[in-house]
Amino acid sequence: MAIVITLVTIVLVDDDDADATEISDGGGGLRGVPAEFRSWILKADEECKQPEMTPALLAAQLYQESKFKTTREEATSDAGAQGPAQFMPGTWATWGRDADGNGEASPWDIGDAVMAQGRMMCSLLKQAKSSGYSGDPRALALAGYNAGWGAVQRYQGVPPKSFANGETYTYVQLILSTMPRFEGPGLLTVTGSGDGADAVRRASTRLGTPYAWGGGGPNGPSTGFCDGTNGYLNGKCAAENTVGFDCSSLVQYSYWPSLHLPRTAASQYGATSDHAVSRQNLKVGDLLFWSNGGSNGIYHVALYAGDGNVLHAPRTGRSVELAPLTSAMPDRDYYGATRP
């Protein structure tokens, strides 16, 4: 929470033969964030001249603060911190601006909140580097954001585990450790228009999001569950502690709300099988299915992303990724494709 709270360019071309290629955003790249946050995170990073600031740092911090939630019910803390960047009213009065130009500076507006977060973190990074305190300036800045710079001054560094039941210490460690999941290649550049191209664009904003069996839906990623067979990693149920998508929820999310596809891979095949597409005539946004025995054995679905690649959520322990169609799943299991 911000201060004194110790809690924890897409190219559009009208082209029926659309294809996709992977690109990088620069600044370390950015992936796995909701589309509505993406441009603001990149802008906030661009406006800060401190090299320690990266899009992934801001994204990991937002994830820790609110899991990118924006509703008053989901993004209001017990202590009164508000919005996706969790600003207390007094702190917001210092850092808040009307960044999105809607006539109001609000911690609930994504643009306003992220730009304020960026300004505050940029200032704290400067302060950290000029303080003379040892340690990673990012860690010092994060501690200042969470507990106030006074706490950093008191301990001449990140407050120890004994401070505030270790909440600030844990806050810093979690953000620094989750940064890599938001780093790397960015959006896909998708040429073309229509529901299929739009679906791949939307799915590409979730590159890097973890796989969670039974997790995710039209509103985004969520924790999943284990069913006795699926959702386990190294003998433990990983899905119930992982916020993410499985293969079919990613597809459902990608096409929503323009097309309300059902939830499972098999049911998505059933809903679209009357528009079958040959492997030689695939277009961006087509659904591809793998099966271990006919239509009743369908176990995986992916989005065709062009250039012989698919965008999909592969399995427990992996993340949403771009992969060659020929190796995304066992090629012998490829069942067919449909066009929603």
Confidence of residue 299 (pLDDT cuts 50, 70, 90): very high
Token pair of 305 as six digits:
């992303």
- Return the percentage of the chain with pLDDT > 90, whole number: 80
Q: What is the mean pLDDT of residues 199-206?
A: 90
> What is the per-residue pLDDT across 103-155, written as a single tens digit (0 to 9) for each?
999 999 999 999 999 999 999 999 999 999 999 999 999 999 999 999 999 99
In this predicted structure, what is the pLDDT of residue 18?
A: 39
20-182 and 194-338 share one CATH topology?
no
Average pLDDT score, the chain: 89
Q: What is the mean pLDDT of residues 198-217?
A: 92
10 pLDDT higher than 60: no
Confidence of residue 189 (pLDDT cuts 50, 70, 90): confident
In this predicted structure, what is the pLDDT of residue 190?
A: 79
Which amino acid would we find at residue 114? V
In this predicted structure, what is the pLDDT of residue 183?
A: 84
256 pLDDT higher than 90: yes
Q: Which CATH code fits 20-182?
A: 1.10.530.10
Q: What is the mean pLDDT of residues 237-246?
A: 95
Half-sphere exposure of 85 toward its Cβ, with a 13 Å CA cutoff? 33
> What is the per-residue pLDDT across 60-90, written as a single tens digit (0 to 9) for each?
999 999 999 999 999 999 999 999 999 999 9
In this predicted structure, what is the pLDDT of residue 20?
A: 40
In this predicted structure, what is the pLDDT of residue 31?
A: 81
In this predicted structure, what is the pLDDT of residue 305?
A: 93
pTM of the entire predicted model: 0.59
Token pair of 263 as six digits:
């939830």
In this predicted structure, what is the pLDDT of residue 186?
A: 57
Out of 3.40.50.1970, 3.40.50.2300, 3.90.1720.10, 3.20.20.20, the CATH code matching 194-338 is 3.90.1720.10
Per-domain boundaries in the chain: 20-182, 194-338
In this predicted structure, what is the pLDDT of residue 218?
A: 95
Confidence of residue 191 (pLDDT cuts 50, 70, 90): confident
The full 3-state SS of the chain, as one line of letters, equals CECCCCCCCCCCCCCCCCCEEECCCCCCECCCCCHHHHHHHHHHHHHCCCCCCCHHHHHHHHHHHHCCCCCCCCCECCCCCECCCCECHHHHHHHCCCCCCCCCCCCCCHHHHHHHHHHHHHHHHHHHHHHCCCCCHHHHHHHHHHHCHHHHHHHCCCCCCCHHHHHHHHHHHHHHHHHHHHCECCCEEECCCCHHHHHHHHHHCCCCCEECCCCCECCECEECCCCCCCCEECCEECHHHCEEECHHHHHHHHHCCCCCCCCCHHHHHHHHHHHEECHHHCCCCCEEEEECCCHHHEEEEEEEEECCEEEECCCCCCECEEEEHHHHCCHHHEEEEECC
In this predicted structure, what is the pLDDT of residue 114?
A: 98
22 pLDDT higher than 50: no
